[in-house]
Structure 1
Amino acid sequence: YQTLVNLWMAKGFIKQPNGPHHLEDIACGYFKDLLWSNFFQDYQENEETCKMHDLMHDLACLVAGTECWVTWDHPKHKLERTRHISHDSTSNFMGKLPISRLKASTLRTILLFTRDWRGEPTSEADLHRLIQSFKRLRILHLHAANVEKVPRSIGKLKYLTYLDLSYNKALKSLPNSITRLQNLQTLNLNYSSLEELPKGIRKLVSLRILNIDDCDKLYYMPCGLGQLSLLHRLNCFILPKYKAFTKNYCGLGELNRLNNIRGTLSIKNLDSVTNVVEESKAANLREKHSLEVLVLSWDIFNITDEAIITKRDEALLDGLRPPDNLQELIIDGYNGESFPMWMTELPNLVELKLAWCKRCKHFPQFGLSKLKRLDISGMNSLEYLLGECLESLTSLESLDIYYLPRLTSLPLGLWHLSKLVDLCITWCYELDLSKDESGNIILDFHGLQSLRSLRIGHLPKLESLPQWILQLRSLECLYISDCPNFKALSEQIEKCEELDLSKDESGNILDFHGCLQSLCSVTISHLPRLTSLPQWLLQAHNLVDLNIWYCDNLKDIPEQIEVLQSLRILNIMRCDSLTSFPEAMRRLTSLTHLNIYGCGELEESCKRRAGED
């Protein structure tokens, strides 16, 4: 979708409006009109892909006539009037391109789409020949074409408006002659091995889109980037990673006048900033009103004084306040102990991710009424979450808590998240899910009634499945993994080698009165003390998918399993103590898929009895 819009703009199909509307917004409007009228179909918003209806495709081909040609078309296709060529493989591209039959003054577009990154390399000589033959090209799309080196002759394509060199893993540099392309609007270099950008990049005066995402070997940006006044998409801004580069290359001040930037902006290596107050203000992020996603990331920089690091990062983050229109914020590797006040004042924020902020001791008290997703991970110093903080997130639908090693309990405010659908809690070594922040066992529970998916794992303190989980009436998917101390018996008999999940901590049989009737998928993994299936599981009458993995001491499947008449899929892997199935397995009339892997004796038993067991 975005590629299509960029191509439309590069071809000049979208005219510059007289009013305040942005060129890209108009192009997106055209796309939506075509989508609503079924010209396009199967639009996948997350992947930004779509298809053209067969009838529309045939009509478009009829109207285009000989102006468009794909290399698998009939070889006798008349090419004198061909303006646009598409090829779907790198295999012998130049060999299949009939240069002698193409009119050099006519050809405007070459689109290369490959499905095999391991194809033959596109040599510098082949590209030079292509450039020399078709100097009036507007669009050159060489996505994943195994380009190893771009020839200096690229600078002769003075009409070129669109150049895509993304996913060329062997591409390490660009010739300086590329800066002669004064009509170039889009330069896509995503997922390449570039080590530097051309130093004269400021000469690309028409550049609107510069994509350099996942260029892991690119350690800095050249000076002069801030002079590209038309630039409105810059997905990544890389500060000098090494101290030797800090004086000679791009600083935050280069962002000052780039206020047309929209979509996503990721600023990397913020730890290299020295004059934090001046440079953060110079970045002028708050005036970039079309920015939707902001990623701020720190790396490891050579400063040993923790107090200096903490104060520096707190002042830096405070000065990098984004615009109020921001929808998603990611902060990664921040070394401050607290977060700035502006984080509680982003009225349109929908997603927030705080990752590896290891020194953070104080979680911000949000007032983010539109926040739908919150991810918290790698905060080594955080001991508790304020209940008032979570309670205020009235629109929250997804919460992911990962690797908070000092967190001991969940706040009571969690139970007030009435719209929460997905909850994931993993790698929290001191967390006891059964207790509230006052240390009391959570029994009478009426919260999280919208929760449909719960994933818990790597919680050494978890000794039994908390009662509040068993009261989740809307829960559909439950995943329990890697809880080595998981047991269900009381402390008086905790040394018992066998585990019975059908009882509570007082030894009473658990009856959940239909609370798990929405549960349709359960995964139980890496529970070494599990010996039999729990009673609560056998009351999940609508269960469809059951996965039991790496439960070394699981000895039997009970006869009561026949109550799971909705069960369609049963996967059992690496349960070495399980040797046979009960007769009741025959009565699971809905079961269509039974997969057994790594359960030696059980597998042999099934083979010997030819499916009777």
Structure 2
Amino acid sequence: MATEDLSVQQIPNNFFIGMTELRVLDFVAMHLPSLPSSLCLLSNLQTLCLDYGVFGDVSIIGELKTLEILSFQGSNIEELPREIGQLTRLRLLNLAYCNLLKVIPSNVLSSLSRLEELYMGYTFVEWEIEGLNNVRSKASLHELKQLSYLTNLEIQIQDANVLPKGLLSKKLKRYKIFIGDEWNWSDQLQNSRILKLKLNNSTWLKDEVFMQMKGIEELYLDEMRGVKNIVYDLDREGFPKLKHPQIQNNPYFLYVIDSVKHVPRDAFRALESLSLSNLINLEKICHGKLKAESFCKLTT
């Protein structure tokens, strides 16, 4: 439901008095000028959904200390309340499709020490770069490095320059990570480990990403200055889990596999499709001998 079609609704401030055993509360597609003050009495609430709604002040949510799941997906929030950082039991935070969200105060995300799942697809937060200012008012991506339990991450970052080294943890089991301004989040993506990367000159970031991101199933590369092939330049193990690579807009790209330099045993064994676009200097799919196991599942 589009938020502009929602009529203003009212919930009496005393509505939740006596509901102390409530575990799940769903306020999906509602237009509330304010959340009822008795919300803070829900001392056992574990799940709160505010998806696709229009809300005023939601800082009272910080009083719900037992909360484990909090979802704002598609809502109108413009700034995440600092009080959210008090939810130290939170395991899942969903900020996907919050088109108006620009500001997350500093140290809010890093305070969510038990967070396991963070969803921020098609949400374009204004991240600060760590180290530029002694005092930060807004969150930096460096804070995600402090979330030691984080295993599921969906995030869209338009400016690769805000990425700190060591951000992408080997502990991630499921991820959709889009870096650069090229990518459309609405594409139908079927796999659980997806990386879309647009870089033109951040060499350290390229090395950092592929050193950390093992088990990639879908890989999209745009520009990637200096990358002449996928295997050897990016992953000498031959991307054994990769199913769907798409490489585009790279005048430096010469081969998909350069087996003259290195012959991986499992190069593209899981590959189902291969898309090559606007690679004006592409010479060969494979430079050198190709192992029999490679491309054995390729259909498209």
The TM-score with structure 1 as length reference comes to 0.38
Specify the SS of the correspondent of 2:165: helix
Match of 1:178 in 2: 61
Are 1:229 and 2:113 counterparts? Answer: yes
**Greater fraction strand:** 2
Q: Which amino acid aligns with 2:285?
A: P
Q: C-alpha separation between the residues in 2 aligned to 1:350 and 1:272?
A: 22
Deviation string 1:559-582 (CA, Å, 9 cap, x unpaired) is xxxxxxxxxxxxxxxxxxxxxxxx
> Displacement, 1:182?
1.0
Q: 1:183 to 1:359 in 2, by over 3 A?
A: same
AA aligned to 1:397 is: L
Query: Alignment partner for residue 254 of structure 1, among 143, 147, 150?
Result: 143
Which residue is equivalent to 2:240? 370
After TM superposition, give the deviation of residue 164 of structure 1 in Å: 0.9
Alpha-carbon distance in structure 1 between the residues aligned to 2:284 and 2:249:
15
Match of 2:185 in 1: none
Match of 1:385 among 241, 255, 261: 255
Name which of 266, 275, 281 aligns with 1:401: 275
Which amino acid is 1:384 matched to? L
- Count matched residues: 271
- Picking from 196, 204, 209, the partner of 2:87 is 204
In the alignment, the residues of structure 1 paired with residue 218 and residue 119 of structure 2 have an alpha-carbon distance, to the nearest angstrom, of 18
Alignment partner of 2:258: what SS? helix
- List per-residue Cα deviations over 1:249-272 (Å, max 9, x = no partner): 111231232110112342524445
SS class of match (1:398): coil
Deviation of 1:175 (Å): 1.9
Percentage of identical aligned residues = 17
* Separation in 1, partners of 2:250, 2:217: 22
Contact 1:201–1:222 (CA under 8 A) maintained in structure 2: no
1:195 paired with 2:88, answer no
Tell me the residue number matched to 1:165.
50
Does the CA contact (< 8 Å) of 1:265 and 1:291 recur in 2? no
Please give the residue correspondences for 1:221-300 in structure 2 after superposition, counting only pairs within 5 Å.
221-224=104-107, 225-236=109-120, 240=126, 247-266=136-155, 268-271=157-160, 273=162, 279-281=164-166, 283=167, 285-286=168-169, 289-293=171-175, 295-299=177-181
Change (3 A) 1:363 1:255: same
Q: Could you list the runs of 5+ residues in structure 1 that have no partner in the other structure?
A: 1-115, 301-326, 424-613
Distance change >3 Å, CA 183–CA 242, structure 1 → 2: closer
Query: Does residue 1:332 correspond to 2:217, yes or no?
Result: no
**CA distance, structure 1, for counterparts of residue 99 and residue 263 of structure 2:** 39
Task: Give the drift of 1:342.
Answer: 5.8
Aligned partner of 2:43: which letter?
A: K
Partner of residue 187, structure 2: none
State the match for 2:101 in structure 1.
Answer: 218
Letter in 2 for 1:192: S
**Larger helix proportion of the pair:** 1
CA distance in 2, matches of 1:180, 1:165: 16
Q: For 1:299-332, what per-residue CA distance to the aligned partner results, in whole angstroms no more than 9, with x for missing partners?
A: 49xxxxxxxxxxxxxxxxxxxxxxxxxx724133
CA contact (8 A) 2:3 2:52 kept: no
For residues 158 and 213 of structure 2, the distance between their equivalents in structure 1, rounded to whole angstroms, comes to 27
Residue 125 of structure 1: SS of its match in structure 2?
coil
Is the counterpart of residue 356 in structure 1 residue 222 in structure 2? yes
User: Which amino acid is the alignment partner of residue 227 of structure 1?
Assistant: S
Separation in structure 2 between the aligned mates of residue 349 and residue 148 of structure 1, nearest angstrom = 43
Output the amino acid matched with 1:268: I
Aligned to 1:147: 31
Match of 2:299 in 1: 422
The aligned amino acid for 1:147 is H
For the structure 1 residues 207 and 238, does the alpha-carbon distance in structure 2 shift closer, same or farther, using more than 3 Å as the test?
Answer: farther
CA deviation string 1:80-123 (max 9, x = no partner): xxxxxxxxxxxxxxxxxxxxxxxxxxxxxxxxxxxx66997364
> How many angstroms does 1:346 deviate by?
6.3
